A and B are shown apart, each in its own frame.
Chain A
Amino acid sequence: MILRSFWEHDLAWSFRRSPVTIVAAALTVICVGAALLAPWLSPQDPFNMAELNLNEAFAPPAWDEKGLGRYPLGTDNQGRDILSTIMHGARISLGVGLAAVAFSLALGVSLGLIAGYVGGRFDALIMRIADVQLSFPAILIALLIDGVARVALPGDRHDDLAIPVLVLAIGFAGWVQYARTVRGSTMVEKEKEYVQAARVVGRSPLAIMLAHVLPNVMGPVLVIGTIHIATAIITEATLSFLGVGVPATRPSLGTLIRIGNEFLYSGEWWITVFPGLALVTLVLSVNLLGDWLRDALNPKLR
């Protein structure tokens, strides 16, 4: 019954009508599935250093003459199976991406909500900070936070804390969009009758914000969030490509691409190409889904 009503819902209808979206969704499911199930599906555990064999490093993909059957997409410079590493790497990339989006969403939405609802000086302060931050590229801010954290944290804890730091760095770099969007919508909503009514009955500002305003401003936030996942994954990959992201013993997609980049000249193309393809596929399909969601939720386009 629920399924049926979902099937007939507006969203599902527009989903069914868009073949691109269906393909994108399928790819996303495959990527996410592979990432989630990596510990069980992947032929090798690339993070278990004892499983790596340096003598089998640089093996080309299996279909190449010199390829080895147990490494379908070849191995990297340490003897890690590329396929397994992509699966585990995607897991890190997705995890970092989702966590970073959740963090910046929470931060951005709360700040935007308060700024829009309270207004005045607080609003001005938050929005000026947002303006300043918008004048920097997100990657710079993430680099800055990552760099400061590296100096501040004790050396031997870097590896353990690399991922949380990355999440915070990317999260901080992305909250502005949410804050701006939510603030705008909040300012519109707070003048409406239902909010005024709630105020008249004497509900506290916090309750009004959370119970009445928030649900009505979440639509656009979800759209931004979906698209932001793709951006966050790219940012994580960029940081790891630059060598400041996750530790090299636990490579994410960006780290793999960086490692492979060093061997492009010497002909070991598979180390960088396959993770690159995986990254493109993942980001593109998430982006397409985001686009579709934006159009589907936009009443003007219906």
Chain B
Amino acid sequence: MRTLLLILALVAAPVQAVTLRWAAQNDILTLDPHSQNHATTHAMMQYTYEGLTRYTKNYQIEPCLAVSWEQISDTHWRFKLRQGVKFHDGSPFTADDVVFSFGRIKQPQGTNQIYVAGIKEVKKIDEHTVEFLLEGPHPLLLRNIVDFRIMSKSWAEKNRSQNIQDYKAKEETYASRNTNGTGPYIIKGWEPDKRIVFVINKDWWGKLDGNVSDVIYTPIKSDATRVSALLSGEVDLVTDLPTQDVERLRKEEKLKILDGHEVRTIFIGLDQHNDELKYASVKGKNPFKDLRVRRALNMAVDREAIKKVTMRGLSIPAGIMIAPGVHGYSKDIDTVTKYDPAGAKKLLGEAGYPNGFEFTLDCPNNRYVNDEKICQSLVSMWARAGFNVKLNAMQFANYIPKLLALDTSAYMLGWGVATFDGLYTLQSLVRTKTTGADGSFNQGRISDAKLDKMIADLKVTTDTKKRDAILKEALEITRDQAYYVPLHHQMRPWAMKQGVSIVYSLDDRPQARFATVK
């Protein structure tokens, strides 16, 4: 009987199954592609759900669910959709699904509106044609919609998942636990904090640029365990190495290291909205509204020490909020605040806090490279300037709802740039908060009318030179007003078995379709 089964299995699968076993510290937050703007979640979603456009290996735009597009006017685009594409449940992909997904991703309880920002309306012309009506000219439209993923309308309606889950309220829907996309891999199962299993979608319209048929992603929070899993051969690929182990792993013969930096900036955000900080000893006013206090926080951080000791050289100390590789970055504006604890203390005294004050720093402990350790170092660095900081570190899955509920006074976050353009960061983090894409992760509720105006201009300016000048100035104002405490741009080597080859992704989204496992 067993032999028979084996023969059957061999007949059924003429191509040998090739599995890519991949580990990193962070789990996904949901299976709903429209719910959470979180790189690891997007990294998994792109296997299963597709957008109208997608990135090539070099981050150029290529057709995906749309085969071609034309610009009828500045604010009017027409997309021809790919024909014969089927969702994993067998239903055909049509213009209705695009219109439906547009309505869905815009819902305020999600955090992905940024990917359709600037689009006023999506109109169905026929079964395989849609038109986008824009609010203004949109130089980055094709890049922006890469992560606008299409969900089947009929499937969502059948399973009462027309609405995005309310993540803050920890709501679960059918679509947050099940998937039905058009992508190259089908999610067979997600066991939170344990594994996600993908199998190849045999009916996929595209062609793999590799040989991987199954992907198993395992989130392993503990650094030592993750490295052990790689060394023992339990996993093939680790995309966030503990910085302290990189040098040793380079010498390991059965492994190879792929170096690269992620387009992600790690920073501390501060509540600059409430009249009294929720978690601080100062009553009756909000010290973070005072530029001198924010400057003092910036000056008291020894970014070089964090780079040298905690990151073992694997970081680029940051002065601005975008990383090298993002359009708008240049070395001359990325000037790092000089480490000056005495100056910080003095400034704090001038601001009226000669004895400093106490506040709580919220920090994830399984999201960014060395996140909790960096927060601990910040506590001691800030202590020298007079701040008495209480550290509240927690798992990212608990951290994000807290942050979304604005239940924080100071928090660590890392911002990766999905569109590779600085506007994405400014619009999400600096623009005055709205329920939509604008200020979607401006959890400190910074509000600067001048910057708001500049960001509005950035969205619609098509003259590259003019736009670049605005972008530069906006980044400089953000830096000089110390709206954030930028720490560093993250560098992130990947380690894999010798037999694995994969393309390094700047946006921290390894693509199994580009991977080969021998």
Contact = CB atoms under 8 A, between A and B. Distances in A.
The yes or no verdict on A and B being binding partners is yes
Interface of A: 48-55, 57-58, 77-79, 155-156, 158-159, 247-249, 261-268
B170 to A, nearest CB: 12
The main secondary structure of chain A at its interface with chain B is loop
B392 A156 contact: yes
Interface string B298-315: 000010011011100000
B392 A52 contact: no
A263 B242 CA distance: 9
B309 A55 contact: yes
A287 B244 CA distance: 37
Contacts of B244: 262-263, 265-266, 268
A48 B383 contact: yes
A249 B391 contact: yes
Interface stretch (B200-208, B371-379, B446-454): B371-379
B224 A54 contact: no
A54 B302 contact: yes
B360 A156 contact: yes
B383 A50 contact: yes
Contact of A77 (B373, B381, B390): B373
Contacts of A78: 373, 376-377, 380
Nearest to A243: B365
**What band does the interface of chain B fall in when counting residues whose beta carbon is under 8 Å from A?**
35 or more
A53 B308 CA distance: 13
Contacts of A57: 309-310
A261 to B, nearest CB: 6
Given A77-B373, A78-B373, A159 B383 contact: no
B308 A52 contact: no
B402 interface: yes
A55 B384 contact: no
Contact of B376 (A156, A249, A264, A267): A249
A159 B390 contact: yes
Contacts of A54: 302, 305-306, 309-310, 377, 380-381
A58 B309 contact: yes
A288 B393 CA distance: 38
B214 interface: no
8 contacts: A49-B382, A54-B309, A54-B380, A55-B309, A156-B390, A159-B390, A266-B242, A266-B247
Contact of B227 (A58, A248, A265): A265
Interface string B455-468: 00000000000000
Contacts of A158: 392
B349 to A, nearest CB: 16
Given A52-B380, A261-B224, A159 B302 contact: no
Contact of B224 (A79, A156, A262): A262
B383 A49 contact: yes
Contacts of A52: 380, 383
Contacts of B394: 155
The main secondary structure of chain B at its interface with chain A is helix
Contacts of B360: 156
B392 A155 contact: yes
Query: Top 3 nearest A-B pairs by Cβ distance?
Result: A50-B383, A49-B383, A266-B244
A265 B383 contact: no
Contacts of A263: 244
B100 interface: no
Contacts of A51: 380
Nearest to A248: B376
Interface of B: 222-224, 227, 242, 244-245, 247-248, 279, 302, 305-306, 308-310, 360, 362, 372-373, 376-377, 379-384, 389-394, 402, 407
A155 B402 contact: yes
A177 B409 CA distance: 46
Contact of A159 (B380, B381, B391): B391
Contacts of B222: 262
Q: Which of A49, A155, A247, A265 has the most CB of B within 10 A?
A: A49
A49 B377 CA distance: 9
Nearest to B309: A57
Contacts of A77: 309-310, 373
Contacts of A265: 224, 227, 242, 244-245, 248
Nearest to A54: B305
Contacts of A262: 222-224, 242, 244
A155 B407 CA distance: 10
Nearest to A150: B394
Given A77-B373, A262-B242, A49 B379 contact: yes
Nearest to B376: A78
B392 A55 contact: no
Nearest to B244: A266
A148 to B, nearest CB: 15
Contacts of B248: 265-267
Contacts of B302: 54-55
Contacts of B224: 261-262, 264-265
Contacts of A159: 390-392
Given A261-B224, A264-B224, A266-B247, A248 B380 contact: no
Contacts of B308: 55
B376 to A, nearest CB: 5
Contacts of B390: 156, 159
A79 B309 CA distance: 10
A202 B108 CA distance: 74
Q: Which of B244, B383, B392 has the most CB of A within 10 A?
A: B244
B247 to A, nearest CB: 7
B207 to A, nearest CB: 40
Contacts of A261: 224
A265 B228 CA distance: 9
A247 B306 CA distance: 21
Nearest to B278: A156
A245 to B, nearest CB: 13
Contact of A249 (B223, B379, B384, B407): B379
A30 B68 CA distance: 78
A175 B362 CA distance: 36
A158 B361 CA distance: 13
A294 B383 CA distance: 49
A53 B339 CA distance: 13
Given A54-B380, A155-B394, A156-B390, 17 more contacts: A48-B383, A49-B380, A54-B305, A54-B306, A54-B310, A55-B308, A77-B309, A78-B377, A78-B380, A159-B390, A248-B393, A249-B391, A261-B224, A264-B224, A265-B242, A265-B248, A266-B247
